[in-house]
Amino acid sequence: MKFTTSIFYTTVVTLKLSFIALLLSSSTSVQNLKPSPKIAPIEQKVDSVLSLMRLNEKIGQLVQYSGSWDATGPTSSQGDQHKLEKLKRGEVGSMLNVTSVASIRETQKIIMEHSRLKIPLIFAYDVIHGYKTIFPIPLGESASWDLDLMQKSAEIAARESAASGLQWTFAPMIDVSRDARWGRVMEGAGEDPFLNSKIGVARIKGFQGDDLSSKFTIAACAKHFAGYGFGEAGRDYNTVNIGIHELHNTILPPFKAAAEAGVATFMNAFNDIDGIPATGHKALQRDLLKGEWQWEGLMVSDWGSIGEMIAHGYAKDKRHAAEIALNAGSDMDMESYAYEAHLGALLEEQKITMNQLDDAVRRVLRLKFELGLFDDPYKYCDEEREKNEVYTPINLAFAREVAKKSIVLLKNDKKMLPLSKDLKSLAVIGPLANDKDSPLGNWRGKGTYNSAVSLLEGIKGMVGKNTKIYYEKGVALTVPSVELGTNQFLHPLKFNTTDASGIPAAVAAAKKAEVVVLAIGENAYQTGEGRSQVDIGFAGLQNELLEAVYKVNKNIVIVLMNGRPMDLSRVSQIAPSILECWHLGSESGNAIADVVFGDYNPSGKLPVSFPHHVGQEPLYYNQKNTGRPNSLNHVTFSGYRDAPKSALYPFGFGLSYTTFEYGEITLNKNVMTLNGEIIASVEVKNTGDVAGEEVVQLYVRDMVGSLVRPVKELKGFEKIHLKAGASTTVNFIISADLLQFYTANNKWEVEPGTFNVWIGGDSTTEPMKSFSVVE
C-alpha cells in the first residue's frame, strides 16, 4: 500500500498532527511560510515535524539498530524484543542490515502502524563495491583511474540497492592509507589525497545522482572522519599520531571535497587522533565540518564507536560517552545504545542542550525528506524492481568492463602477454585459479557465495578448441576446517603450511604446457576490516608452489588476486609477466581472460606503491625529502642498508601492450600571479603496434615553503586512448587553487616561490619544467 503524505498524517487525530500534514502536502501553505537559507520547503517541513516531537521521539531518531533479525517472525532474543518495542514507540531512526523488499516493508510497517508520529525509518547497508552484482574492490577499481567508470559502477550499485528497498550506503571510504599491512586498504583509493578526492566525489555522484528523492539513488556516506587509514603499525582501530598540518594537507582534503559535492552523510572513525577519539572530536565534527565547512548532512557513528570511548579511556561510562559524542557533533548512534539510554538524563542535567539535540534530529529528518520517505515510506519497496533490476545481464556486462580496466600489467618481459588463443597447451595452476568466491572480495554486499566467474572458467571460455588445458590447484591456501564460506568474515584464517601433496601434479601439468598461468595471492578474507597483517607476502605454501613450477617451466604468467600491495620481490625476479588483478568481482575470470588473450589492452595504474619489503611500510610516493635524502656511497642518509628506499612498483605505474612516448613539457608562461594560472602541455605518442589507453599524470613540487613540502604531489590526470602511431597533446591547467596548502599560518593559501612540474606515466617520471608564483 502506498502512503501519501496526506494519508499518512490524517490517520493521526491530534490537531497539531493534522496541521503538519497540511503543511507537508500543501505547496500553498509552504510558500506562505518564512523561507529558509537551505531548500526552503524541506526546512519548513523539518521544523514542523520537529515542533510536534516529544523528547523520547527526538532521541529515538538518533538511534540506529542492526536488524539482521527476522522482523516478520517471533523475536529470538531479549535484545530483539527491545528493538521491536522501540520500533513500535517510534524510538528508532534507522536500521541497518535489513535487506530485501519483504523484510524492509515489514519493518517499516511496525513504525507506520504503531508509532505516534509515524516518522519513517531509513534503511542502510554496506554497499561497498556492489550490491548483488559485485564490482572490483575499491582499491582495484581505483586502479582504472577512470572517474566516469567508477561513477557508473556506484550508480548501478545504488540502483540494485534501491530496488531491494535500501536508501543508504556506508560508502565511499575516502581514508588516505599508506600502509599495506592495514587490511582495510582494500576499501579505499590508496595513498594519494588528490586521487582519493576525485574518486570519492565520482562515487558519491554515482550513489546519489542529481536527486536523492529518485527511487534509483541512495544516500552516500563519506568515511571515516578522520585519520582511520593512518593507524600506527597498520593495525586496525589503532591510535593515530599526526600533526595539524598533516591532518589538513593529507587526510582532510577528500572529506572537504565530499562535503562540497553534497554527500548526504559522514561517518566518524574508530581511532583517536592525538589522544581524542574521532567519535568525540568536537574540533573535527562540530567546529570544522558543521561549522567552518557549513555542511548540513548527517553524522553517524561507526559501529559501537560511541561506547568504545570507554575502552579508549576517554569516557568513564556510556552516559559520559553519550555526552561527549553529542557535544562533539555525532548525530546518530550506531549500535552503542548510549543515546537511547542517557540523552534524556543528560539534557535534564544540562550536560547537553536542546539546541544540540534538535540540530541532530533536524539532520536525520532532513535526509528522510530528501529521500522522499515522508511522501511514501514504502517508495523503495517494489518487488518487481527487486526481481528485474538486480544482478542483470547488463549489470554483469558492465562489471566485466570495470574489472578489465582495473587490471594493472606490472611486468611483461619479452612480450610474454598477450597469449595466443591458439596455444597447443596451457597450464592453469594455483589455489586461486578455480576459486569462485575470492574474486568477490571482502564487503561483497549481497553477492552470492561462490558466484564469481573463476579464472579457469574465463580461460576455458576464451581459448580455441584445439588448446589443451591442464588444471591443478597445487596447494590449498587455507586448511579445510576453516573454509567456512560466508562465515569466514568472523573467523581468523588458518593457512595450509604442511600439505604439499598437490605440488607434484602441478609440476607435471607445467611440464606439459607451453605456458603456465599461475593464480596466487590472497583470498577474500585476508583483507578488509580487522584483517591487518605483519606479513604481506604469499601465505601458506604458495612460494613453494611457485618455485617448483618455475623449475620446470619458465614461461609463467602470474595472476595476482589480492586486496593490498604485496611483497612481490621474489616473484618479480623470476616471472616474466605479472598481472595485478585484485579481487575483481562477479566477472573476474572473464575480465582477466580478456586481458591475458589481448581482447583488451591493460590500462590500469597503481593507486598504491608496492614495496620491496614489508619493512618499508608505510610507503608512499609523496614523501618529504629530509635533510639527508640520498647517498650512494655513504651510510648516513635517510634510507636502508638492506633494501632500496624506493618502491618496487611505484604509485601511478602500469604497463601496456603498446608503448607511449612523452615529448617535452611546455608551459604557456613561466610566471603566474597568486590568482592566476599556467597551462602545462605535453605531446603523447603511441609508439607501439596496437591501440591503447594511457593515464597521463601531472605532478608538482613546491620547492620552498613555510612547511616542508612533499617531493611530488599528484595535481591532475587524464586518461587518453590512442591508436597505434597516433599522438595527441594533453593540457593541464595549473591554477593557484591547485597550489594551495595548509601553511604554517594555519590556513589554506598559495605561497610565492618556485614550482617544479612533471608530466608522465607514473610518479617516477623525471623530465620537468619550472615556473614561479609571484604576488
Q: If pLDDT is split at 50, 70 and 90, which confidence band does 557 have?
A: very high
The predicted pLDDT at position 481 comes to 53
Q: What is the pLDDT of residue 552?
A: 98
If asked whether residues 569 and 674 sit together in one domain, one would say: no
Establish if 695 belongs to a structural domain: yes
Please state which of the ranges 27-36, 104-113, 167-176, 708-717 shows the lowest mean pLDDT. 27-36
Q: Rg of the Cα trace of the chain?
A: 27
Residue 20, classified by CB atoms within 10 Å of its CB into exposed (0-12), middle (13-18) or buried (19+), is buried
Indicate whether 670 and 756 sit together in one domain. yes
Residue 642 half-sphere exposure toward CB, CA atoms < 13 A: 4
Residue 402 amino acid letter: V
In sequence order, what are the beta bridge partners of 225? 268
The rounded distance, in Å, linking the Cα atoms of 362 and 254 is 25
465 and 563 housed in the same domain: yes
User: Which helix (H) or strand (E) is 312 found in, with range?
Assistant: helix 309-312
- Whether 565 has a pLDDT exceeding 60, the answer reads yes
Half-sphere exposure (Cβ direction) of 761: Cα atoms closer than 13 Å: 20
Q: What are phi and psi of 267, to 5 degrees?
A: -125, 135
Is residue 5 over pLDDT 70?
Answer: no
**Is residue 488 situated within a structural domain?**
yes
Residue 226, preceding bond cis, omega within 30 degrees? Answer: yes
d(CA 126, CA 570): 36
Closest CA to 250 of 319, 317, 158, 175: 175
Measured N-to-C along each axis, helices 588-596 and 393-405 cross at an angle, to the nearest 10 degrees, of 50
- For the segment 428-446, the average pLDDT, to the nearest whole number, is 97
User: How far is Cα 86 from Cα 500, in angstroms, rounded to an integer?
Assistant: 55
Is residue 384 within 8 Å of residue 118, measured between CB atoms?
A: no
The mean pLDDT of 341-367, rounded to a whole number, is: 98
Q: How far apart are CA 167 and CA 155, in angstroms?
A: 13
The three three-digit cell numbers of residue 77, written as one number: 532474543
Domain-terminating residue out of 574, 607, 640: 607
Question: How confident is the model over 315-322, as a mean pLDDT?
Answer: 98
What integer pLDDT is reported at residue 81 of this predicted model? 87
- Per-residue pLDDT at 568 exceeds 50: yes
Checking if the pLDDT of 35 tops 80, the result is no
Torsions phi, psi for 28 (to 5 deg)? -65, -45
Listed in order, strand segments (DSSP E) in 26-178 are 63-66, 94-96, 122-125, 168-169
| Spatial distance between the Cα atoms of 599 and 114, rounded to a whole number of angstroms | 58
DSSP 296: -
Say which CATH number the domain at 698 has. Answer: 2.60.40.10
Q: Cell for 741?
A: 596548502
Indicate if the pLDDT at residue 14 is higher than 50.
no
588 and 502 fall within a common domain: yes
For residues 601 and 523, state if they share a domain.
yes
Q: Name the active-site residue from 302, 331, 333, 567.
A: 302
**Predicted pLDDT at 345:** 98
Q: Cell numbers of 513, please?
A: 604446457
Q: Is the pLDDT of residue 329 over 50?
A: yes
Within a 10 A sphere around the Cβ of 513, how many other Cβ atoms? 24
Overall domain count for the chain: 3
Residue 30: inside a domain: yes
What are the pLDDT digits (tens) for 722-731?
999 999 999 9
Report the chain's mean pLDDT, rounded to a whole number. 93
Q: Please check whether residues 447 and 581 belong to one and the same domain.
A: yes
Q: With bands split at pLDDT 50, 70 and 90, how would you rate the model's confidence at 635?
A: confident
Give the residue-averaged pLDDT of 196-219.
Answer: 98
584 lies in the same domain as 669 = no
CB 737 within 8 A of CB 645: no
| pLDDT attached to residue 631 | 76
Residue percentage of the chain with pLDDT more than 70: 92
Q: What percent of the chain has pLDDT over 90?
A: 89
Confidence of residue 11 (pLDDT cuts 50, 70, 90): very low
Q: Confirm whether 210 is domain-assigned.
A: no
The model's pLDDT over 447-501, given as tens digits with 9 standing for 90+, comes to: 999 999 999 999 999 999 999 999 999 999 998 754 445 555 566 789 999 999 9
Q: Is residue 701 part of a domain?
A: yes
The pLDDT of 576-582, averaged and rounded, is 98
Q: Exposure pattern of 213-240 as b/e (b: 16+ CB <10 Å)?
A: ebbbbbbbbbbbbbbbbbbeebbbbbbb
Residue 699 near residue 738, CB atoms below 8 Å:
no
- Quick one: DSSP state of residue 217? -
pLDDT tens digits along 263-293:
999 999 999 999 999 999 999 999 999 999 9
What gap in Å lies between CA 664 and CA 683, rounded to an integer? 7
> Is residue 435 annotated as part of the catalytic site, yes or no?
no
- On whether residue 412 sits in a domain, the answer given is yes
Please report whether residue 48 resides in a domain.
Answer: yes
Answer yes or no: do 567 and 426 share one domain.
yes
Same structural domain for residues 595 and 530? yes
Tell me the β-bridge partners of 470: 427
Query: Are residue 411 and residue 544 in the same domain, yes or no?
Result: yes
464 and 539 both lie in a single domain: yes
Q: Which domain holds residue 42?
A: 1-52
Amino acid symbol at 465: K
Q: Is the pLDDT of residue 250 over 90?
A: yes
Within a domain: 147: no
CATH (domain of 508) = 3.40.50.1700
pLDDT at 23 > cutoff 80: no
Q: Are residues 464 and 546 in the same domain?
A: yes
- pLDDT-derived band at 203 (thresholds 50, 70, 90) equals very high
